[in-house]
């Protein structure tokens, strides 16, 4: 899994990168939230593992920026921090953090949390695929919507997408219906 690591302490960053590579992950290392945001803007990551307290842009600010993206594929955001306590935990969750690991991290626990992140992302991808599937009548071509109502293809598509419908004739139908043309 591709993971963006955001850690301002060089030694911790390199150690975390080595640990995740050992666990079979592909990593990109950044030193602060701003560098991470720039890397993320170039190529979104399915998982971000970020320190909370950093110069320039902290982990919560980075998480908020990632969550602001409209219609984007979901990113699992794990906050790695020495801060503990209920108030910090709730602040992180309110910012959009998915998981919270206190430093020093345990390698086995980190691996388990990343396995959970992979399962969550897999389920979200399957849901996205299912949401993209349309149920269509084989005879009249009406489409069933989320409320189990059936409507014509011509009515459904403009209502649920930004696509407009135009009509024409395919070559096979032209031969059948307009053989003289």
User: For residue 147, is pLDDT > 80?
Assistant: no
Q: Which domains does the chain have, with CATH numbers?
A: 2-131 (3.40.50.2300), 135-177 (no CATH)
Straight-line distance from the first to the last Cα atom of the chain, in angstroms, rounded to the nearest whole number? 57
Is the whole model's pTM more than 0.75, yes or no?
no
Q: How far apart are CA 66 and CA 76, in angstroms?
A: 10
How would DSSP label each residue in 39-74?
A: HHHHS--SEEEEESS-SSS-HHHHHHHHHH-TTPPP
- Residue closest to 4 by CA, chosen among 60, 48, 69: 48
Local structure of 103: helix, strand or coil: coil
Best mean pLDDT range from 10-19, 70-79, 134-143: 10-19
User: For residue 37, is pLDDT > 90?
Assistant: yes
User: For residue 102, is pLDDT > 90?
Assistant: no
- Determine the angle formed by the axes of helices 59-68 and 33-42, rounding to 10 degrees: 30
Give the rounded distance of the alpha carbon of 3 from its chain centre: 12
**Residue 115 contacts residue 78 (beta carbons within 8 Å):** no
User: For residue 58, is pLDDT > 90?
Assistant: yes
User: Residue 126 has what pLDDT?
Assistant: 79
- Residue closest to 20 by CA, chosen among 78, 66, 70, 72: 78
β-strand partners of 87? none
Q: Which residue has the higher pLDDT, 153 or 91?
A: 91
Average pLDDT over residues 108-132: 87
User: Residue 20 has what pLDDT?
Assistant: 96
Share of the chain above pLDDT 90, in %: 57
């Amino acid at each position: 899994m591709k993971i963006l690591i955001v850690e301002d302490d060089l030694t911790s960053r390199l150690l975390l990168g080595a640990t995740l590579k050992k666990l079979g992950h592909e990593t990109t290392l950044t030193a602060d939230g701003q560098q991470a945001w720039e890397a993320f803007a170039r190529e979104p990551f399915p998982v971000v593992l970020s320190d909370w307290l950093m110069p320039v842009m902290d982990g919560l600010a980075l998480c908020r920026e990632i969550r602001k993206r409209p219609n984007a594929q979901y990113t699992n955001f794990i906050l790695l921090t020495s801060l503990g306590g209920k108030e910090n935990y709730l602040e992180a969750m309110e910012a959009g953090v998915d998981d919270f690991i206190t430093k020093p991290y345990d390698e086995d626990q980190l691996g388990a949390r990343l396995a959970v992140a992979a399962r969550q992302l897999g389920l979200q991808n399957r849901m996205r695929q299912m949401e993209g599937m349309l149920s269509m009548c084989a005879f009249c071509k009406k489409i069933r919507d989320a409320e189990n109502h059936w409507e014509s293809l011509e009515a459904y598509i403009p209502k649920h997408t930004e696509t407009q419908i135009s009509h024409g004739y395919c070559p096979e139908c032209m031969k059948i219906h307009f053989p003289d043309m």
